[in-house]
Structure 1
Amino acid sequence: MFSSVLSLCFCWFCYLLLFLGAGVLLAFLLYCGYVQYIHMKYDHIPGPPRDSFIFGHTASFKATEDHKVSHDVLLQWAEEYGPVCRLNFLHRVAIFSTDPESVKEYLMSPDYPKDPNTYDRLFYLFNKRFLGKGLLTDPDHQHWYKQRRIMNPAFSHTYLMQMVGVFNEKAEQLMEKLEEKADGKQQVSMHALINCVTLDVITKVAFGMELGLVEGNKTAFPEAISMVLQGMIRYLQNPFMQYMPQHWAFVEKVQKSADLLRKVGQECIMQRKQAMLNGEELPKDILTKILQVAEQEEGLDDELMLDNFITFFIAGQETTANQLSFTVMELSRQPEITQRLREEIDDIIGFKREISFEDISNLSYTTQVLKESLRLYPPGPGTSRYIKNDAEIAGIRIPGGVPIMFDTYVMGRMEKFFPNPFTFDPERFSPSAEKPYYCYFPFALGPRSCLGQVFSQLEAKVVLSKLLQRFEFNLVEGQSFEIMDTGTLRPRDGVVCTLTPRKIASK
């Protein structure tokens, strides 16, 4: 009797396995059918052969997981397949365009939201709220516009003019640190030190916090920012990695880093709000201005404020540091450009330690150099929008319901837009030069352009001017000019230099 029951149970178990197996097989076949439908719908658009039927071009981008620049893959495809290129990822398709008219159409108009499939994934980072619905990621134009209206006064020219003193103060601290090392022998990682000064600046100017990183204080912030950036790019490449045991240690570090940034941000915002309620004297920083404007505009909830806190931390520190580091790296092999820069700085600033807003406004060649640096080495190289309805780009029909990707790194390195694109030439951006036609957008374009671009370039000019005013620098042998992609683009080898004081600066 017992053996009969056992036999019956075993039979039912086998039937269950067969049923489940058949269900899984049916689901897989249906999925394959849907993938085939997507292929048939979009395969009239030019593009490279898929690496596999199911995974599409995923492997081509996986090959860049060691921090190589995936944008170089896109550059190669743009040159080979033309201004409109189809990219497949599982059952999804994305359009990659280097057509300037499409850049103009989709970036300059508020009718095309940011791609929700990409930016909604950055709401959380491994189940921890990360960028949420802040200015960078919010795909809802009306919701985004309300935030931008509240943030705008804190980033106006008038308000930022008050911040130049902090730029000078923090940059001077960096100069003092470099003077200790400027013996022509000590090797200095310029990227690491510039990272410290830009983080000191953003925390002071935006949130009234004194970190003192340049002076040698230790904090978990730089590592936390680096971890969330690495986590962001790896999460976008593989959203399932949190379920893979081999990645758990990395995922845990990213989660703790996101928690740290949000915890500090929450404390900072709560303390400032309490100070406002108590009628205390408030620092004239970006946070104060935002909270004052928010009171008049029905406010922003605390979680949304935190989303933007994280965004400011990352965008306000990482991108400016990377731009300055790339500029120093490139100037180390451009003696004529460096000399012309120094002549402008000597003429306008001289030996002054306090650079004024007017001085910054007159640094025209410095502006050209920084723009050329952003052309060749944009820290934030790409953005995307969403095409809801059917469209046509460069004569090619695009069925609606797909994201469209734009990449200033790729377009900035294409011969048809910038002759001799790998030559560092600031004359491309001289006042008499023809303005690039929608092929240069390191801060994006249109209504969703970067809120902090003026802030960033003011800071970059102050730091770069002081550096060239005071020091000669030489790149240490063995340093490459390669780029590393860690969510933003940065110099792979850290721009390690030796420095000596400029004789003219000591007269």
Structure 2
Amino acid sequence: RGTWRSSLPGWNSLWIPVTDRCYSLPQSCLPVKSYPKDKFVYKKLFSLFGQRFLGNGLVTARDHEKWYKQRRIMDPAFSSTYLRGLTGTFNERAEKLMDKLADVADSKKEANMLHLVNCVTLDVITKVAFGVDLDLLKHSSPFPKAIETCLKGMVSYLRDRFFQFNPKNRGYINEVREACRLLRTTGAQWISERKTAMQNGDEVPKDILTQIIKDSMTEEDEEFMLDNFVTFFIAGQETTANQLAFAIMELGRHPDILEKAKKEVDDVIGMKHEISYDDLGKLVYLSQVLKETLRMYPTAPGTSRHIAEDMVIDGIHIPGGFVALVINTIFSNDPLKFDPDRFHPDAPKPYYCYYPFSLGPRACLGKNFAQMEAKVVMAKLLQRFDFTLVPEQTFDILDAGTLRPKSGVLCTLGHRDYKNKGS
């Protein structure tokens, strides 16, 4: 704070959000609906280089009433009853990944774990959300590349306001636009097919696609439907895939934690292939591992809110019109240490210090969905395989719209010895 800021009027709104460090910001900003998401980031995600991208979907909508209407429509697709019914699909898709990993283990080849879990999480979201079977572990598809292109384009668009004016970037910009068009065109096709089925009286699942279509009649609603289609298409797989890859990376770096997680899986799951909803609740230590993974490696490094009015936080007067950038990785003792015991049931639980899915009314709708899926995949992996990280790979983080392991998490795999396991 001080003279340098007052000497550069408009810097905060024109270039980048510059905020003061204030550790009570999460408690002051996130639970309050009157603080909308800031326009610096979220308004710009409406489109990428002139091509509509996330529009006014659940993640980007800044108007509370518009957001709330969409949220109410989507809620049934994430109810506990509906999620319980998805356990079978999670098991089925995870089994396909286990089959693929078995082939890799037999071949003695290295496995790019980020790529493989990306395939399975995209398979899951397209199946349970849109009723489409891609089977990406066996068949190629343009969607993974399109998602990656959109996210990388998003980074360039947000961080370099002159990027689109450089003639050298025209080819890449066209690729980003085409990727956005592919996702929205696909959404329009799948929505049309589902609408036809509903109009014909066919039985359709009460999934995300059905909820997207509900109460959508006008041309504007059609665009909202596509906004949310793209939102769920990307958020529903990218976040969980990155979490799984980082968890595998950290378990590989901490053999003691890995063995403890394996023992719990052996005790709870044994040798059975079908993991039940009730089993997931018993995997307490695995939950701790996954939570600690998200604490260290949140898919999005933070969130932000626009504070229109003056406010006082911790005795600091902050003038209105600023952007509050809230980052959750800093609110821990020894934050660079991977320690699942932070989330032990008996450990202290300080408020407003852990929010990888955000907090308050704008908290992630798919939180429980993502954690169920991650648990099923990780439990099966720990049940079936021993894995070792390939030496000399980097453990750096790549910021490509979301945070992901730069190396892809390269592993060698071996089948576990079942002789000493109970049934």
Q: Give TM-score, length-normalised by structure 2.
A: 0.94
- Distance (whole Å) between structure 1 residues aligned to residue 9 and residue 5 of structure 2: 15
Q: 1:243 is matched with which residue? A: 165
Q: 1:66 is matched with which residue? A: none
Of residues 124, 140, 162, the one that matches 1:201 is: 124
C-alpha contact (below 8 Å) 1:185/1:498 kept by paired residues: yes
Q: 1:221 is matched with which residue? A: 143
What is the identity, as a one-letter code, of the residue corresponding to 2:360? G
Of residues 64, 68, 83, the one that matches 1:160 is: 83
- Distance (whole Å) between structure 2 residues aligned to residue 488 and residue 442 of structure 1: 12
What is the identity, as a one-letter code, of the residue corresponding to 2:340? P
Of residues 210, 213, 217, the one that matches 2:133 is: 210
- Distance (whole Å) between structure 2 residues aligned to residue 89 and residue 401 of structure 1: 9
What is the identity, as a one-letter code, of the residue corresponding to 2:305? R
C-alpha contact (below 8 Å) 1:391/1:397 kept by paired residues: yes
What is the identity, as a one-letter code, of the residue corresponding to 2:284? S
- Distance (whole Å) between structure 2 residues aligned to residue 431 and residue 330 of structure 1: 21
Q: 1:321-368: per-residue Cα shift (whole Å, max 9, x none)?
A: 000000000000211111111111111111111111111111111111
Q: 1:50 is matched with which residue? A: none
Gaps of 5+ in 1: 1-37, 45-52, 57-87, 412-416
Q: 2:18 is matched with which residue? A: 94
Q: Does 1:347 align with 2:270?
A: no
C-alpha contact (below 8 Å) 1:470/1:505 kept by paired residues: no
Q: 2:249 is matched with which residue? A: 329
C-alpha contact (below 8 Å) 2:19/2:325 kept by paired residues: yes
Of residues 314, 321, 327, the one that matches 1:394 is: 314
Q: 1:84 is matched with which residue? A: none
C-alpha contact (below 8 Å) 1:98/1:406 kept by paired residues: no
Shift, 1:280, TM fit = 1.2
Alignment of 1:35-434 (within 5 A): 42-43=5-6, 88=12, 90=14, 93-99=17-23, 101-183=24-106, 185-214=108-137, 216-292=138-214, 294=215, 301-409=221-329, 411=330, 417-434=331-348
SS at match of 1:112: coil
What is the identity, as a one-letter code, of the residue corresponding to 1:388? A
- Distance (whole Å) between structure 2 residues aligned to residue 164 and residue 328 of structure 1: 22
Q: 1:447-469: per-residue Cα shift (whole Å, max 9, x none)?
A: 00001110000000000000000
C-alpha contact (below 8 Å) 2:22/2:313 kept by paired residues: no
Shift, 1:408, TM fit = 1.5
- Distance (whole Å) between structure 2 residues aligned to residue 430 and residue 505 of structure 1: 30
- Higher deviation after alignment, 128-137 or 473-482: 473-482
- Distance (whole Å) between structure 2 residues aligned to residue 506 and residue 273 of structure 1: 53
* Aligned alpha-carbon RMSD (Å): 2.3
- Distance (whole Å) between structure 2 residues aligned to residue 260 and residue 108 of structure 1: 36
SS at match of 2:18: strand
Of residues 395, 400, 409, the one that matches 1:481 is: 395
Shift, 1:239, TM fit = 3.0
The list of structure 1 runs, each at least 4 consecutive aligned residues, that deviate by more than 6 angstroms after superposition, is 53-56, 297-300
The 3 A distance-change label for structure 1 pair 134 and 394 is same
Shift, 1:90, TM fit = 4.5
What is the identity, as a one-letter code, of the residue corresponding to 1:206? A
SS at match of 1:500: strand
- Distance (whole Å) between structure 2 residues aligned to residue 247 and residue 500 of structure 1: 44
What is the identity, as a one-letter code, of the residue corresponding to 1:460? A
SS at match of 1:424: coil
Q: Give TM-score, length-normalised by structure 1.
A: 0.79
C-alpha contact (below 8 Å) 2:150/2:180 kept by paired residues: yes
What is the identity, as a one-letter code, of the residue corresponding to 2:203? E
C-alpha contact (below 8 Å) 1:166/1:201 kept by paired residues: yes
What is the identity, as a one-letter code, of the residue corresponding to 1:395? G
How many residue pairs end up in the alignment? 421
The 3 A distance-change label for structure 1 pair 179 and 238 is same
Gaps of 5+ in 2: none
- Distance (whole Å) between structure 2 residues aligned to residue 229 and residue 187 of structure 1: 27
What is the identity, as a one-letter code, of the residue corresponding to 2:236? G
- Distance (whole Å) between structure 1 residues aligned to residue 22 and residue 96 of structure 2: 42
The 3 A distance-change label for structure 1 pair 482 and 387 is same
The 3 A distance-change label for structure 1 pair 440 and 299 is farther
What is the identity, as a one-letter code, of the residue corresponding to 2:296? L
The 3 A distance-change label for structure 1 pair 357 and 218 is same
SS at match of 2:398: strand
